[in-house]
Amino acid sequence: MTDIKHIAATASRDYTSFDVVIVGSGASGSIAARTLAEKGFHVALLEYGALVSPGALYAPNQATYSKARTSPHGRADGNPWTACAVGGGMQFYNAIMFRYRQADLSASQYLRTDMEIDWPISLLDLEPFYSEIESLLEISGTYGFQPYPASQRGLLISNAMRELGITPKSVPLAIRPPKTTNGCIECSSCNHLVCPTNAKANILAKSVLDDSAFPGSISVLYGCFVNSIELRSDCHAEALECYVPLSSQRIRIPVKAVIVCANAIQSAALMLRSKSRHAPTGIGNDSDLVGRGLSFKISGYSVGYVKNPAALPAHWGPHATVYTDDFYEHPGVPCRFGGLIYEANLDSPGENIGRVRLHYIAGEEPWSHNRVMLDSAIDPHGIPYIRIAYKNSENDRARISFLANRAEDTLRRLGASCIERMPFSRGKGSSHLHGTMRAGSFPKTSVVDHCGKIHGLTNIYVMDGSVMNFAGNSHPTHTIMANAKRMALSLAEKEN
């Protein structure tokens, strides 16, 4: 059974026994650890956050950790995490698990920026790994797992969409449907919550880190912030310099190979903090690309109010059960490239009374001026603040406005009035993080190769959303996991 301990409880440990050390225990780090342990590797997962229990809420776990700056001399008001916890953002997510389409991996047919947009792999490379994740997480509507039934609001939205000639579909959810074995008991609205019953899959609920059947092993050491990677002159990582806030101590963990899975903001920041005489501008940053191309999702909400609130009671259950992808690639959308529109219930059951809310999202254009940097100021632990520079492009504003208008057509059709559009801004961060450690064949235009290895270095890999050159028009976690599994398998095959 996997060893999960606060790092302070391992003070006398010999850290040299690990074959691979992974930074970050979220969706990508955990699935990479599992893949390597399946192949006989002994893996340590270093995680800054703590263990969160079933029923825990998101806000306290997000707010505890250092924030980023969003202007040169401003307050630290940006969010450089999805969440900071063993299991990462997936502990609190909505469990919406779409596969990407080929267009997401070759988006240059629709969008042009000053960066490479296409991924160095195709959808075919991801397909076997998508299937494995679907079976591991029991994603609804795949492989004999029944589709998740539409909620009351989902049925209204579906009918309105059909009347408008739009095709509604059932959202693929990593949540066991109600009335199935260990299914959802509809105790709350699922967003921002660790599922109290484990019906919603997450890293711990699904025992993704359980190594008991594997020839290798996984040790999770949490409460440990990885501050920098120490390079030897021959382009080889020798150790990680870590900070333990509990004891205010710095420790050095030797590594044979390191995989960074800290999310697209934190992974880039770690590389930039790892400046040394062997990497004067940070690790992997010879072409000044680390941190550039930061991309989130462009998104927004529209909410409509029905005349008789009693007809639409509170909502218990998933954040979303129905969506449409009719506008994903569509001649009417600006750039012919849109995204998804889907049901998006509010966080607490009662907030939904008399209201229907729709969310629309699309992948945004990656531009080099959208980036992660290090600020000159240091935080209370002596670590440089992360700074985020970010603004939307005109194309992206046009694309999302198109989706907003279609969402509002749907709300009007189902009888809602007083429709409000909630403005979108990701200037202070997002939970969908991509693009800062771009993947490709050439060191001039990319930081890592198609298997996540940093160009020119022998044993440093990145396997999270930062290697995604285009953010994709739908939710990323399924793809982040499938891609991390693919890259970890390639590392295992190379080392064996």
Ligand X SMILES: Cc1cc2nc3c(=O)[nH]c(=O)nc-3n(C[C@H](O)[C@H](O)[C@H](O)COP(=O)(O)OP(=O)(O)OC[C@H]3O[C@@H](n4cnc5c(N)ncnc54)[C@H](O)[C@@H]3O)c2cc1C
Question: At closest approach, how far in Å is the CB of 412 from ligand X?
Answer: 27
Is 432 noted as a catalytic residue in this protein?
yes
SS3 107: helix
How far is the C-alpha of 371 from the C-alpha of 382, rounded, in Å? 22
Q: Which residue number, 93 or 119, has a Cβ lying nearer to ligand X?
A: 93
User: 241: which strand partners?
Assistant: 228, 252
Question: At closest approach, how far in Å is the CB of 432 from ligand X?
Answer: 6
User: 85: which strand partners?
Assistant: 50
Question: At closest approach, how far in Å is the CB of 99 from ligand X?
Answer: 11
Q: At what angle do helices 394-413 and 152-163 cross, to 10 degrees?
A: 100
Contact by Cβ (8 Å): 484, 32: yes
Instruction: Enter the DSSP assignment of 35.
Output: H
Q: Measured between alpha carbons, how far is residue 457 from residues 44, 234, 325, 467, 483 in Å?
A: 21, 8, 41, 16, 21
Question: At closest approach, how far in Å is the CB of 64 from ligand X?
Answer: 10
Number of residues that make up the chain: 496
Q: Which residue number, 306 or 429, has a Cβ lying nearer to ligand X?
A: 429
> Which residue ranges make up the site for ligand X (CB under 6 A)?
23-29, 46-49, 58, 81-85, 88-90, 92-96, 191-192, 225-226, 261-263, 266, 270, 431-432, 464-465, 475-477, 480
| Phi, psi (rounded to 5 degrees) for 52 | -110, 145
Question: At closest approach, how far in Å is the CB of 461 from ligand X?
Answer: 13
Tokens 């307050």 sit at which residue?
75
Question: At closest approach, how far in Å is the CB of 27 from ligand X?
Answer: 4
Question: At closest approach, how far in Å is the CB of 70 from ligand X?
Answer: 18
Question: At closest approach, how far in Å is the CB of 322 from ligand X?
Answer: 14
User: b/e per residue, 411-434, with b = 16+ CB within 10 A?
Assistant: bebbebeebeeeebebeebbbbbb
Q: Which residue number, 103 or 361, has a Cβ lying nearer to ligand X?
A: 361
Q: Which residue number, 166 or 262, has a Cβ lying nearer to ligand X?
A: 262
Q: Which residue number, 209 or 414, has a Cβ lying nearer to ligand X?
A: 209
How far is the C-alpha of 391 from the C-alpha of 164, rounded, in Å? 33
Contact by Cβ (8 Å): 259, 463: yes
How far is the C-alpha of 167 from the C-alpha of 495, rounded, in Å? 47
Structure tokens at 229: 């990677």
Give the DSSP H/E element, type plus range, for residue 342. strand 340-343
How far is the C-alpha of 163 from the C-alpha of 79, rounded, in Å? 40
The single residue of 192, 432, 434, 455 carrying the catalytic annotation is: 432
Identity of the amino acid at 103: A
Residue 163: burial class (beta carbons within 10 Å; 0-12, 13-18, 19+): exposed
Q: Which residue number, 52 or 356, has a Cβ lying nearer to ligand X?
A: 52
Q: Which residue number, 337 or 342, has a Cβ lying nearer to ligand X?
A: 342
Q: Which residue number, 306 or 461, has a Cβ lying nearer to ligand X?
A: 461
E-only strand ranges, 182-296: 217-222, 225-232, 236-244, 249-254, 258-260
Catalytic residues: 432
